[in-house]
Chains A and B, each alone.
Chain A
Amino acid sequence: MKKVEAIIKPFRLDEVKAALNSVAVQGMTVTEVRGFGRQKGHKEVYRGAEYVVELVPKVRIEVVVPDQAVDRVVETIAKAAKTGKIGDGKIFVIPVEEAVRIRTGERGEGAL
């Protein structure tokens, strides 16, 4: 099992969700985060006082999938999240040791 963690632009979230559904990914965890890579922040001005805000709002999607599905899921996310402009985000793949379905106690890939 692997966790696929993707940091994307917030307005692409709906596309990514729909795309993942179409490759039979059943669930995901979504969090609102802030961060930056190469994308510059923005400037705010209050009564002449300037503030440079470096941290840009992003969305982090986490899905845990069986090993053989990883490449397909990564590709799906990347295609749906891409705009071609700086700040599109990144995807990371992390090994997962165990998964448990709380309601039934199932373990392993059956819990996904």
Chain B
Amino acid sequence: MKRKLAGWILMVFAFTAGAGLVFGQDKPAPALAAAVEPPKPAAPAPTASPATPAAPAPPKVDTGDTAWMLTSAALVLLMTPGLALFYGGMVRAKNVLGTIMHSFIIIAVISLQWVLFGYSLAFGPDRGGIIGSLSWIGLSGVGLDPNPDYGATVPHQVFMIYQAMFAIITPALITGAIAERMKFKTFLVFTVLWATLVYDPLAHWVWGVGGWIRNLGALDFAGGTVVHISSGISALAAAIWVGRRRGFRTEPMAPHNLPMTITGAAILWFGWFGFNAGSAIASGKLAASAFVVTHLAAAAAALSWVLVEWLYKGKPTTLGAASGAVAGLVAITPASGFVGPMPALIIGAVAGGLCYAGVIGKNRLGYDDSLDVVGVHGVGGTWGAVATGLFASKAINDAGADGLFFGNPGLLGIQVIAVLSTWVYAFVVTLILLKILDWTMGLRVSEEDEENGLDLSQHSETGYNY
């Protein structure tokens, strides 16, 4: 009891400090700096935007853009239940519901967190380049007129709800690392805290107007750093701190339902078109380009993972094909609005083999990242961010930049800075969060509960009654 109380008091202090920061001195609306290239180009019309808030007429809603963005939001939402199935099939039958529940309940939890204050922290008016203010708390000021910075041709709430789906799936990715052994109650608290303290700031740094990584000129079209690297590295911290499953390496822990996993992978592939092509925040050429490269990277990566595994282990596997496809999709995510089709094939082909190596490497290093979040999202996202620095071309997206292979070595360095900052920040904050939660609430289920399975011990349910 004492520990729990101490923990809650700590939390209150932390939030008070944070609130002080975000409620800090008000700044005038940021001038659109000429040097800043928005990674998500909104309006296709390149008019010189007014530098002062001299109240121009509200931007017009484009029905084509809005239709596509609403569709994309729905596609990205579907990715989270898809992830639930992808992960669910890979755990043992006694944990299938617990695993699915992680992803599914996050939809509910983060949707609330997002509209109450998460969106404001991520995309609200900038505070010091590191966080948004709370002026959009409870979606105050987030109406149906477009926001010129965030989707100038779609209602602001469309942009908000689209981004909500990203905020939802990112913590869901982490659950793969701690599958089969985490306490449900603590997991819920962790999710809200992680979203608020890691995802929201990161989203602000990379995508928010005034965010410091955005101001550096780093390119992340749909979330290589914000989604994949952050969740991958946080998963590493979680796998290490929560510890290995009982029986790891001595007991068989084979996937119990690979057809379910492949179904999940297929849903993820499908939804990813919304994830990447929707990040154009408009319907048109850029969305088309992102759609195509997304598909090609997935295809190339599926093949390359299967080929590498065929050579290394002797047989091509369905789990490998599915995992490879996902790895390719992860890698192309930051690059999807900046690279062409042929580079996409290369990015995917490298991702397949590289992520496979990442997974094998995990086996060597000995930590129990149960469902390979680090190997696929951490490694894949890192490669994707670096690949963006190599293959980006202004011919594809003139609001982006050129990469190394198109004559601009500078971008690569900026990408590396973005990657390293994400690694460090996500890892450290996650570790601190986990330590506090372990100390106050306990992270792991008891040995007996772990043996009986999460379905029974956490949810009083059985996945399969026959």
Question: Which chain A residues have a beta carbon within 8 Å of chain B's beta carbons?
Answer: 44-49, 51
Q: Which B residues between 86 and 111 are near A, CB-CB below 8 angstroms?
A: 90
A46, B319: Cβ atoms under 8 Å? yes
Residue numbers in A under 8 Å from B315 (CB-CB): 45
User: Nearest residue in A to B376 (C-beta to C-beta)?
Assistant: A47
B13 CB to closest chain A CB, in angstroms?
43
- Checking B252, B314, B319 against A47 with a beta-carbon cut-off of 8 angstroms, the contacting residue is B319
Query: CB-defined interface of B309-352 with A at 8 Å, one 1/0 digit per residue?
Result: 10011110101100100000000000000000000000000000
A4 CB to closest chain B CB, in angstroms?
30
A46, B363: Cβ atoms under 8 Å? no
B189 on the A face (CB < 8 A): no
Q: How far is the CA of A51 from the CA of B317 in the complex (A)?
A: 14
Q: How far is the CA of A49 from the CA of B364 in the complex (A)?
A: 11
Interface size class of B (residues with CB under 8 A): 10 to 19
Residue numbers in A under 8 Å from B314 (CB-CB): 45
B420 on the A face (CB < 8 A): no
Can you spell out 14 A-B residue pairs with CB atoms less than 8 angstroms apart? A45-B317, A46-B317, A46-B319, A47-B319, A47-B320, A47-B372, A48-B309, A48-B312, A48-B356, A48-B359, A48-B360, A48-B363, A49-B363, A51-B254
B313, A48: Cβ atoms under 8 Å? yes
A36 CB to closest chain B CB, in angstroms?
16
Residue numbers in B under 8 Å from A47 (CB-CB): 319-320, 323, 359, 372
Residue numbers in B under 8 Å from A48 (CB-CB): 309, 312-313, 356, 359-360, 363
B254, A44: Cβ atoms under 8 Å? yes
B217 CB to closest chain A CB, in angstroms?
37
Residue numbers in B under 8 Å from A45 (CB-CB): 313-315, 317
Q: Which B residues between 288 and 316 are near A, CB-CB below 8 angstroms?
A: 309, 312-315
Residue numbers in B under 8 Å from A44 (CB-CB): 254
A46, B255: Cβ atoms under 8 Å? yes
Residue numbers in B under 8 Å from A51 (CB-CB): 252, 254
Q: How far is the CA of A62 from the CA of B178 in the complex (A)?
A: 46
The SS class assigned to the B binding surface is helix
Known: A46-B255, A47-B372. 6 other contacts (CB 8 A): A45-B313, A45-B317, A46-B254, A48-B312, A49-B363, A51-B252
User: Nearest residue in B to A50 (C-beta to C-beta)?
Assistant: B313
Q: How far is the CA of A44 from the CA of B372 in the complex (A)?
A: 18
Residue numbers in A under 8 Å from B372 (CB-CB): 47
Q: Which B residues between 358 and 415 are near A, CB-CB below 8 angstroms?
A: 359-360, 363, 372
Residue numbers in B under 8 Å from A49 (CB-CB): 363
Residue numbers in A under 8 Å from B312 (CB-CB): 48
User: Nearest residue in B to A44 (C-beta to C-beta)?
Assistant: B254
User: Nearest residue in B to A45 (C-beta to C-beta)?
Assistant: B313
A76 CB to closest chain B CB, in angstroms?
34
Q: How far is the CA of A77 from the CA of B372 in the complex (A)?
A: 49
User: Nearest residue in A to B359 (C-beta to C-beta)?
Assistant: A47
Q: How far is the CA of A47 from the CA of B323 in the complex (A)?
A: 9
Q: How far is the CA of A48 from the CA of B376 in the complex (A)?
A: 14
Q: How far is the CA of A45 from the CA of B372 in the complex (A)?
A: 15
B421 CB to closest chain A CB, in angstroms?
30
Q: How far is the CA of A112 from the CA of B217 in the complex (A)?
A: 86
B311 CB to closest chain A CB, in angstroms?
13
Q: How far is the CA of A49 from the CA of B255 in the complex (A)?
A: 11
A55 CB to closest chain B CB, in angstroms?
11
Residue numbers in A under 8 Å from B309 (CB-CB): 48
Q: How far is the CA of A44 from the CA of B285 in the complex (A)?
A: 45
Sort A-B residue pairs by CB-CB distance and give the 5 closest, nearest first. A48-B360, A47-B359, A51-B252, A51-B254, A45-B313
Query: CB-defined interface of B220-255 with A at 8 Å, one 1/0 digit per residue?
Result: 000000000000000000000000000000001011
User: Nearest residue in B to A52 (C-beta to C-beta)?
Assistant: B252
Q: How far is the CA of A46 from the CA of B362 in the complex (A)?
A: 13
B352 CB to closest chain A CB, in angstroms?
13
User: Nearest residue in A to B249 (C-beta to C-beta)?
Assistant: A49
Q: How far is the CA of A49 from the CA of B368 in the complex (A)?
A: 12
A11 CB to closest chain B CB, in angstroms?
22
B199 CB to closest chain A CB, in angstroms?
27
Residue numbers in A under 8 Å from B255 (CB-CB): 46
A53 CB to closest chain B CB, in angstroms?
8
A49 CB to closest chain B CB, in angstroms?
7
Q: How far is the CA of A44 from the CA of B317 in the complex (A)?
A: 10
Residue numbers in A under 8 Å from B356 (CB-CB): 48
A94 CB to closest chain B CB, in angstroms?
31
Residue numbers in A under 8 Å from B359 (CB-CB): 47-48
Q: How far is the CA of A67 from the CA of B372 in the complex (A)?
A: 60
Residue numbers in A under 8 Å from B313 (CB-CB): 45, 48
B316 CB to closest chain A CB, in angstroms?
10
User: Nearest residue in B to A53 (C-beta to C-beta)?
Assistant: B252
Q: How far is the CA of A44 from the CA of B252 in the complex (A)?
A: 11
B154 CB to closest chain A CB, in angstroms?
40
User: Nearest residue in A to B261 (C-beta to C-beta)?
Assistant: A46
A45, A46, A47, A51 pick with most chain B CB within 10 angstroms: A47
A57 CB to closest chain B CB, in angstroms?
16
